[in-house]
Amino acid sequence: MSELYPLKFEPILKEKIWGGQSLSENYGKYQGDLKNIGESWEISAVSDNLSVVSNGFLAGNNIEEIIEVYMGDITGESVYEKFGIEFPLLIKLIEARDDLSVQVHPGDDLARERHNAYGKTEMWHILSSESGARIYTGFSGLVSRESYIDAIAAGTIGELLNAEPAEPGDTFFTPAGRIHAIGAGIVLAEIQQTSDITYRIHDWGRKGSDGKPRELHTDLALDAIDFNETGSGKIINKLLPNKPSELVRCRYFDANIINFDRGINRDYNLIDSFVVYLCTEGRFIIRWDTGTETVIRGETVLIPASITNVELIPEPKAGLLEIYINQGL
């Protein structure tokens, strides 16, 4: 059987009413005839949006097909035992030229009951932002179920939300059940469970491409919201040069940021998981036992679990998100 290598995938681009051109102009996503790109699905196992390999001898195969053949050599034995051929994370780049809707995602239990699917816990890492850009995350204070219902009826739900300034390098953790919205003028990386379930609560009076108000899911959202989720959800960690700096550690994924201007080695023998690199700045080379692969800003690469040691070489400096699953949690 041929030896595995770092895998790149064809981006799956999503046109959105609130999208723009930055993912095309600044992050290398060719948009073709699409006008406003809101999302680039970098690695996806969502059933009708399966990522397809774009490099090497596996090019043209989708992510389920390669996991079906290589199993734990792709995802890690413990990950494969739990998830089978379904890749457990959805990796996106998002551009919000306008405010996204106020929304919430269900947790695992509710998502399983209603949709036979996983819930959606996620994190955002801000790549660029305009002056005054904000992330809406959690309630600004204690909110009762009754006062929330009243605010929905009055169209004033935005007044109950916590608004945080969003600057490049900021990271926000959004567990399932936390009400949130991405504000205008932001490009970010989103790491989440493999789920596309969103309950739209409030859409700022916006109309869809058909000229009609977009569908809301206020009844479904009511039982999904955790009314105790207040505050910013912003991650405050000290960033170390040329070393991994922890951003998020949760039951669904671990995420680190690495900003480096010299070569570094990464040893993954102890994690029994795939690793995803998302290049946030610059470019770098991945070197492993049998080859090299160059990664540029905006690209995402999947390191199979069978590759347990790599060297990362910046050209001349780079930044990346490092994501994997820690089954020890």
Nearest to 202 by CA among 103, 312, 115, 129: 103
N- to C-terminal Cα distance for the chain? Answer: 33
Say whether 200 is catalytic: yes
Q: What are phi and psi of 159, to 5 degrees?
A: -70, -15
Rounded CA separation 264/310 (Å): 9
Nearest to 6 by CA among 304, 295, 283: 304
Nearest to 329 by CA among 79, 57, 73: 79
**Does residue 322 contact residue 244 with C-beta atoms inside 8 Å?**
yes
Rounded CA separation 236/228 (Å): 21
> 97, 134, 178, 200: which one is catalytic?
200
| Amino acid at site 182 | I
Please spell the DSSP secondary structure of 114-158, one letter per residue: HHSS----EEEEEEEE-TT-EEEEEESS---HHHHHHHHHHT-GG
Rounded CA separation 213/303 (Å): 42
* Tokens representing residue 136 in the block: 């809406």
Nearest to 193 by CA among 13, 17, 44: 44
Please compute Rg for the chain using Cα positions.
Answer: 20
Nearest to 51 by CA among 96, 13, 21, 23: 13
Rounded CA separation 282/298 (Å): 9
Catalytic residue numbers read: 200
